[in-house]
Amino acid sequence: MMTRLLVQLVTERRRPAGAVVILATVLALFGQSRLQFDDDPRAFFRRDEAAMEELERLYADFGADDNDVLVVLEAADAFSPEMLSVVRRIVAEAAGAEGIAAVESVLSVRRVGKWLQPLVPASDDTQRYAARRAEAFAHPLVAGHFLSRDGRVMLVLIRLQGESLTVAQIGPRVERLRAIARRATEGSSVRALLSGHPVVRLDVIRNSRREYLRIAGVAAVVSVALAMFFFRRAAAVAVCTAGPAIGVVWVMGILGMAGEPLSGMCIILPTLLFVVGFTGAVHLLVDIRRSLAAGEAPVDTAGNAVKRLFLACLLTSATTAVGLGSLALANNEILVRFGLIAAGGVMVQWLAVLLVVPLLCGGRLGRWLAPRARVTNESRWIRRFVGPAMLRPRLVASLGFAATLASAVAAVGLGSDIHWSEAVPEDSETSQAVRLCDRAFGGALLACVVVQWPPEMDLASPQVLQVVAEVHDLLEQGPATRGALSVADVLECLPGTTAEARAAELERLPEDMVRRLVRTDLRRLAVTAHLPDLGAAALEPGFLRLDRGLAEIETRHEGFRLKLTGTTVVAARSMRGMIADLWRSLITTAVVVFVMIAAELRSMALALAAIVPNAFPLALMAGVLVWTDQPLRVASAMTFSMCLGLAVDDTIHFLTRYRQVRRRGSNIPAAVARTMDDVGPAMIATSVVLIGGFGAMLASPMPLIHLFAWLSCLAIAAALVGDLLFLPAILLSFRRGEAGSSVEKCLDDGFWPARTGVSGRTLRGFPLAKAE
């Protein structure tokens, strides 16, 4: 029913169909103008509801820790008149800037036991600076917090106003702070860098969008140039790119008109959809060009191509959509939304390609599509390099199985990881600031332990102070945490001979400062510690050790409740879980693909034959990551999904055509040969064009784009080897007992021209049935 309708649209009702395509495209372009981006940082790690509830309560009680911008100041002497003059200028100007909630620095700190006297002297008296310098390195609120212990780095903490700030809100404020830091350090020997969650988020999203557009343009030029090399006609290049491009426009337009905001993960959605659509478009184009070369009219070639490839295109799109849709089973809102959007987008892309490509080919453009030569470059390459391998199908199939198995065994050691600044170029100021904080303070990130004490106690109770001291010790002894800070450090600096007297002095301090550390009305306090950007995998053992240590403290002190939390802690654990969700989705997809191939082709043997060609590129990518000592990241996990989609597309096109040829009475070698000649050129063309496009992205300085690019190139190349070498070899291995199925005999009666020689001798090619 659907096939007949599409054939009628591209043959008998071309004008109405073309008008609908044009109208839909215009509406989609309007819809794209309404696209919105959801860059809520907390949505990315909203996975564990209990952990998120604890984190949101931390934000509500003590303020969000993901709104802090760190101005990192480096000099030969960080406690010098020059440095402190720079700090004064930054504090004075930032405090009055729009969107700034608070500014904290060493200027805010008072002397121990003399809370009315500032630690930093107001005058430039050298002797007073020398005396206060010694105090600063012994001060519990300064050393390791505002001033590095080596005396070379000073921090100014600037808290942005608002909650769950978007990049659009963060951007102007961070730029103002950068300008303030530049003006303050002008003419001095002090170097100023900015760090903190808002700065890293801003740089990642801005750089990714800008770099993605720039590299996408270069990749498009390279891809078009390679397509011209293969098809030798501009009309053919226009046809195979117009369909996927219009499909992407439709999908993005639908999202815009529906008001669906795009998350940061959706930045790869256009590329993913274009790649999926491009493979189908090339298979359609190759089929149409072959028919045109045989003398068929353009309109007839378009309708016949839809008839022949409808099932294959539908099955490839359906399997890809089901695979991406399986992300809806994840425990992460971002993944669920991305999976559903991508699955729907694949089906829209399928409809766009099946409509646009035949419509273009069936019109005047079709006159310019026929190949200039009966034997294409791709066919020559297939005959030259694949033909000899097919003489030993069992050996090739065994090699494919062995390579897949070896890679899969190596992939068992593949672990997942995510770094806070992994998407920022290593030579950027932000990355330099992160590394400087890691070295000078033990990290720019924070872990937080929330302590809740029993109702019968107050802050000055000896048992409360004892628990806080034990938490301090636990954090200082941790493998990664450094520089523990809590209200106990503030109490140590206040005047008074007893804990009760010092606790009473807290009322004289600024409310915002106290609120960040303790809430006596809620019987809760926060103990923070610095974390380096080592990656979630390296930090997790330390988090587990802290969890066990906190549980032991709770056991020793009945009625206390201790919880490890903080943006970095929750994000690290959730993002690793998110990667695990992606990995499980990939496995689910592989199972679904196997079942769908077996059901649609009604052959368990063909489904089994598809396992190695589809598993090989996935196993090889995982093995290469292990062999190069790289973890599985979000970008690489997404590449696995794209790779499976590409491999499955070519596999299904191959098996669908193979089954059609077999049903017409061809034996296995003849059917394999005919199939390779029919779909092989399209497989090579799509692979080389896509490798060229993704290869151009290797020039990007963005680490994640670079990782995505080289993994994509490897995946596409491996998928081509699997479908062009291993799959035919496996099918040929099934020929035992079939009458007249001798590969040697078929080669002797070869359809492929004998002039396609290898090493000066005649290549015995596969026999092909005459064009149908």
Which of 172-176, 407-411, 563-567, 679-683 shows the lowest per-residue confidence on average (mean pLDDT)? 679-683
Architecture of domain 430-565: 2-Layer Sandwich (3.30)
Specify the length of the chain in residues: 772
Report whether pLDDT(350) > 70.
yes
Helix axes 668-696, 634-663, angle to 10 degrees: 150
| Higher local confidence (pLDDT), 127 or 462 | 462
Report the pLDDT averaged over residues 581-592.
72
**Which residues face 551 on adjacent strands?**
none
Task: Quote the distance between the C-alpha of residue 467 and its chain's center.
Answer: 41
Give Dmax over CA atoms of the chain in angstroms.
Answer: 104
* Alpha-carbon gap, residue 216 to 527, rounded angstroms: 46
Task: Quote the distance between the C-alpha of residue 716 and its chain's center.
Answer: 18
Q: What is the pLDDT of residue 705?
A: 76
What is the rounded end-to-end Cα distance, in angstroms, of the chain?
24
pTM of the model: 0.76
User: If we measure between CA atoms, which residue out of 547, 345, 143 comes closest to residue 337?
Assistant: 345
> Which residue type occupies 376?
T
Report whether pLDDT(679) > 80.
yes
Give the pair of three-digit tokens for residue 77.
């002497």
Report whether pLDDT(203) > 80.
yes
Q: What is the pLDDT of residue 380?
A: 62
The secondary structure of the chain in percent helix, strand, coil, rounded to multiples of 5, reads 65, 10, 25
Look up tokens 């215009």; give the residue: 26
Q: What is the pLDDT of residue 767?
A: 35
Give kind and range of the element (H or E) at residue 159.
Answer: strand 153-160
* Alpha-carbon gap, residue 95 to 177, rounded angstroms: 10
Q: What is the pLDDT of residue 764?
A: 35
Q: Is the dihedral of CA 721, 301, 273, 327 positive or negative?
A: negative
* Alpha-carbon gap, residue 283 to 288, rounded angstroms: 9
Give the pair of three-digit tokens for residue 600.
């649609």
Give the pair of three-digit tokens for residue 202.
């801003």
CATH topology of domain 603-772: Multidrug efflux transporter AcrB transmembrane fold (1.20.1640)
Q: Using DSSP, how many helices (H) and how many strands (E) does the chain show?
A: 28, 11
* Alpha-carbon gap, residue 627 to 534, rounded angstroms: 20
For strand 445-452 and strand 524-531, is the pairing parallel, antiparallel, or unpaired?
antiparallel
* Alpha-carbon gap, residue 612 to 620, rounded angstroms: 11
Helix (H, G, I), strand (E, B) or coil at 349: helix
Residue 351 burial (C-beta neighbours within 10 Å; 0-12, 13-18, 19+): middle
Q: What is the pLDDT of residue 157?
A: 93
Report whether pLDDT(45) > 70.
no
Look up tokens 């990315």; give the residue: 44
Give the pair of three-digit tokens for residue 403.
């390579």
| Higher local confidence (pLDDT), 151 or 234 | 151
Q: What are phi and psi of 375, to 5 degrees?
A: -105, 115
Query: Across 106-120, 144-158, 705-719, which has the greatest mean pLDDT?
Result: 144-158
Residues near 286 by Cβ (< 8 Å), separated by ≥ 6? 678, 679, 681, 682, 685
Report whether pLDDT(373) > 60.
no
Burial 524-534 (b: 16+ CB within 10 A, else e): bbbbbbbbbbb
> Which residue type occupies 562?
L
Strand runs (DSSP E) across 458-574, as ranges? 482-485, 518-519, 524-531, 561-565
Q: Is the dihedral of CA 275, 279, 284, 285 positive or negative?
A: positive
Report the pLDDT averaged over residues 276-288.
84
Report the pLDDT averaged over residues 696-708.
77
Task: Quote the distance between the C-alpha of residue 541 and its chain's center.
Answer: 24
Q: What is the pLDDT of residue 375?
A: 46
* Alpha-carbon gap, residue 592 to 374, rounded angstroms: 39
Report whether pLDDT(568) > 90.
no
Give the pair of three-digit tokens for residue 438.
């890691």
Q: For the chain, which residues make up each domain, given as ranges?
A: 68-199, 430-565, 603-772
Q: What is the pLDDT of residue 742?
A: 52
User: If we measure between CA atoms, which residue out of 645, 684, 692, 616 comes closest to residue 275?
Assistant: 645
Q: What is the pLDDT of residue 116?
A: 72
| Higher local confidence (pLDDT), 83 or 633 | 83
pLDDT tens digits, one per residue of 27-38: 998 988 887 766
